[in-house]
A = this chain, B = another copy of it.
C-alpha cells in the first residue's frame, strides 16, 4: 500500500554508487514539475512502475504527479482494440470509435489543468490529450507496446497525435515504428525490489504463506505466474508438467489473478480445470486465482523451476520478478524475454511450441539443483544491473536532462 521509501533503502540492492549517480542526474531538475498520465492506477506493469517511480522522483527533488484518464467501458473496448491492432492484429477503427477515443480525451482535458514543465503520456489511451492543451512544455509519449509491425489503418490514425510529441520512449529497439521522424529513446521496464511482490522473505515467512494457503512442500515445485490468458498458454504448461511428472514426481502451481470482466479468462480457466482433471483433486496441480503479492513472492522464491510458456509477451515482467528471486526460468523465446534470459546462463529459452524441449530443461534443472542455483544467481545479477526501478529512475532523469539542457 504505502510505497514511498527513501532512495537510500535501495542501496543494499544496487550499491551506493547508483544512488549517488541518481542524485547527480537529479541536480539540475530540482523543482521540475512532471506529470505522468496513463489510464489506470492499478493492474498491469505500467501502473506498477508508476506507483514506485513517481514517489522516487519526488524524493530526489522533482515535483512529480500522476493522473489517470478515465472513460466508460466503451472507451476501454476501443483502446484495447487499438492496443491489439498496434501489435499487429487485423481490424480497423470506425470513425465512431476514433471519435469516442478523441472525445474522451477532450472531456478529460476539461477537468485537468496541465501547467507542468514536462508531460509524460503512457500508451495510446491518453495520447490524443496533446491536441487539447496549449503546449507550453515538452510532451513525451512513453509507449509500452510493440510498434514494429502495426496495423496500418490504426497506426495512421494514432500518428496524427504522436507526431505532435517532442520525444518518444520505447522498451525495446525492435519496438520502434519504422521511418517515424520523432526523436526517440529506449528505456527498459523495471521492477521495484522493495514492494511486497519482490521484497526479501525469510524461509519462515515463506513457510507460513505456504501453510496458510495449504500448499504442500513435500515435492519439487514448478510454477507459472501469469494471468489465465490464451497468450500465457496455461494448458500448454499442463501438458509439459505431465511429461515432466513421468520422470520426476513434482507439483505444479499456476497462479494468476482473474479480471472479473474477462469472460475469456474464465473460459481458459475452465479448460485448464478440465485438462488437469484428477491432478487437481490430488493437489498435484494447484490453481490460485486470488491476488496476493506476498504469496506470488513466496512461490517465486520456493519453486525449483519457474516456467514462462508465453506464446506472445510484452516485456515479461513476471520473468524479471522470478530472476530477481534467484530462480532459474525455462521460458519462451518471445517478446522481451530474450532481453532478460540468456540461454544456459540464467535459464533456458525455447520455442514456445517445443514441449519436449521445455520438459527436458525442467527435468534437467530438477535433477541438477546446483545448476539451478547457479543460473538463478546469474539471473539475479542481470536484474540487479539492468531491470531495477533505480535504473528506470536514472533513465528518466537522463532523458529529462537531455530534453531541458
Please give the residue numbers on chain A whose beta carbons come within 8 Å of chain B beta carbons, in ascending order. 1-4, 41-42, 50-51, 54-55, 58, 63-68, 70-72, 100, 103-104, 106-107, 110-113, 260-261
Task: Assess the B2–A107 pair: CB atoms within 8 A.
Answer: yes
27 contacts between A and B (CB under 8 A): A1-B100, A1-B103, A1-B104, A1-B107, A2-B106, A2-B107, A3-B107, A3-B110, A4-B110, A41-B70, A41-B71, A42-B70, A50-B111, A51-B107, A54-B111, A55-B110, A55-B111, A58-B110, A63-B113, A64-B111, A65-B111, A65-B112, A66-B111, A66-B112, A68-B68, A68-B70, A260-B260
Which residues of B have CB within 8 Å of A110?
3-4, 54-55, 58
Residue of B nearest to A36 (CB): B111
Return A197 CB to nearest CB of chain B, in Å: 13
Task: Assess the B1–A65 pair: CB atoms within 8 A.
Answer: no
Complex Cα distance, B106 from A63, in Å, reads 17
Residue of B nearest to A67 (CB): B67
Complex Cα distance, B1 from A274, in Å, reads 43
Return A259 CB to nearest CB of chain B, in Å: 10
Complex Cα distance, B63 from A51, in Å, reads 28
Which residues of B have CB within 8 Å of A260?
260-261
Which residues of B have CB within 8 Å of A104?
1
A41, A58, A72 interface centre (most CB from chain B within 10 Å): A41
Which residues of B have CB within 8 Å of A1?
100, 103-104, 107
Which residues of B have CB within 8 Å of A2?
103, 106-107
- 10 more contacts with CB within 8 A, not counting A4-B107, A58-B110, are A1-B107, A2-B103, A41-B70, A42-B70, A42-B72, A50-B111, A54-B110, A63-B113, A65-B113, A67-B67
Which residues of B have CB within 8 Å of A63?
113
Complex Cα distance, B68 from A3, in Å, reads 19
Residue of B nearest to A54 (CB): B111
Complex Cα distance, B51 from A55, in Å, reads 29
Which residues of B have CB within 8 Å of A111?
50, 54-55, 64-66
Residue of B nearest to A75 (CB): B1
Residue of B nearest to A40 (CB): B70
Which residues of B have CB within 8 Å of A58?
110
Complex Cα distance, B69 from A41, in Å, reads 9
Which residues of B have CB within 8 Å of A67?
67
Complex Cα distance, B106 from A4, in Å, reads 10
Which residues of B have CB within 8 Å of A54?
110-111
Residue of B nearest to A64 (CB): B111
Which residues of B have CB within 8 Å of A68?
68, 70
Complex Cα distance, B112 from A54, in Å, reads 10
Residue of B nearest to A56 (CB): B110
Which residues of B have CB within 8 Å of A103?
1-2
Complex Cα distance, B69 from A67, in Å, reads 10
Return A55 CB to nearest CB of chain B, in Å: 5
Which residues of B have CB within 8 Å of A66?
111-112
Complex Cα distance, B68 from A68, in Å, reads 9
